Amino acid sequence: MTAPSVIRVGTRASRLARTQSGHVADALAAALGREVVLVDVSTEGDTSSAPLASFGGVGVFVSALREALLRGEVDVAVHSLKDLPTAPHDGIALAAVPTREDPRDVVIARDGLTLGELPTGSRLGTGSPRRASQLHALGLGFVVEGIRGNVDTRIRKVTDGELDAVVLARAGIARLGRLDEVTEVLDPLQMLPAPGQGALAVECRATDADLVEKVRAALDDPRTRAAVTAERTVLADLEAGCSAPVGALAEVAEGDDGDELWLRAVALSPDGGLSVRRSATGTPGDASEVGHRLAKEMLADGAGSLIEEKVS
């Protein structure tokens, strides 16, 4: 099947999602010389105020977009890669993983403070069990509160005095042009990001082979794909959903004999008191093998029991 003359890009309706999808649409239009339009798709994660963990955390922002893709209502679907289930979906191809934004987490706190400057008992907001566990692990005596909502809603909880700080993904803040509000960028040694954080996933119907090929040629970044493949392999092997207290970060760097892949991961108990941390190295071409090897070592050290404690 040949690529359509007008390419419909499915997106969640939030400002951040439309901004991310708009970047993809603009890049496709420039590369393919086709008209590209955004199509809003409402997802269960957007319409419910329940905590994400109550959905099981897997595919809550993804399934509606995939259904619209398979029904032929859109030709391309754009997701935040960290929201994507690790198992492949019948009939859908991961056509491209564009160049990744900075994957680190950031703090937006009152009075321009950093985590180290916030007093004991400060109220920090996050919707992520991974961030909550790592905040507890810092041992700074914070009260961590679960929150939902878009970036504007979360930041407003700080400016209105409801919370002392929130922890968010830097990538989303950067894409919205709000980096001037960040009071601290967290080193991965303090807080490992979610597997795939900062990256986008661009999916097409697997039967649209011509469009899949064109989207991959226009958008895919091999280094980013290798890094997130390693991270998501760890997540899959640990049998942990995207709401589990698991962080992972892989980086591709130039070595003496070519590109090298460096992978770090952590699994934590809910209170952050217990953790399993491991690292592994390899080549980008062996990204999956590196992830499998690291996950095997983590499971041997008890990571599985920490994850079960969280999700049970």
Which domains does the chain carry?
Answer: 6-98+199-220 (3.40.190.10), 105-185 (3.40.190.10), 228-311 (3.30.160.40)
Q: How confident is the model at residue 166 (pLDDT cuts 50, 70, 90)?
A: very high
Radius of gyration of the chain (CA): 19
Write the pLDDT tens digit of every residue in 78-91.
999 999 999 999 99
Q: Is the per-residue pLDDT at 117 higher than 90?
A: yes
Q: Is the per-residue pLDDT at 127 higher than 60?
A: yes
From CA 56, how far away is CA 73, in angstroms rounded? 27
pLDDT given for residue 48 in this prediction: 44
- The count of other CB atoms within 10 Å of the CB of residue 33 is 7
Per-residue pLDDT averaged across 236-253, rounded? 89
pLDDT given for residue 245 in this prediction: 92
pLDDT given for residue 42 in this prediction: 82
Q: How confident is the model at residue 49 (pLDDT cuts 50, 70, 90)?
A: very low
Bridge partners for 108 per DSSP = 166
Mean pLDDT of the chain: 92
- Reading the block at residue 110, the tokens are 């009152």
Catalytic residue among 75, 83, 164, 208: 83
pLDDT given for residue 305 in this prediction: 87
- The count of other CB atoms within 10 Å of the CB of residue 220 is 16
Q: Is the per-residue pLDDT at 54 higher than 50?
A: no
Per-residue pLDDT averaged across 33-52, rounded? 73
Per-residue pLDDT averaged across 30-52, rounded? 76
- Reading the block at residue 187, the tokens are 């080193």
Question: Which phi-psi region, left, alpha or beta, contains residue 56 (left: φ > 0; alpha: ψ -120 to 50)?
Answer: left
Q: Is the per-residue pLDDT at 96 higher than 70?
A: yes
The verdict on whether 83 is a catalytic residue reads yes
From CA 240, how far away is CA 259, in angstroms rounded? 29
pLDDT given for residue 194 in this prediction: 96
Per-residue pLDDT averaged across 165-175, rounded? 97
Share of the chain above pLDDT 70, in %: 92
- Geometric angle at alpha carbon 84, from 55 and 38, rounded to 5°: 105
- The count of other CB atoms within 10 Å of the CB of residue 309 is 14
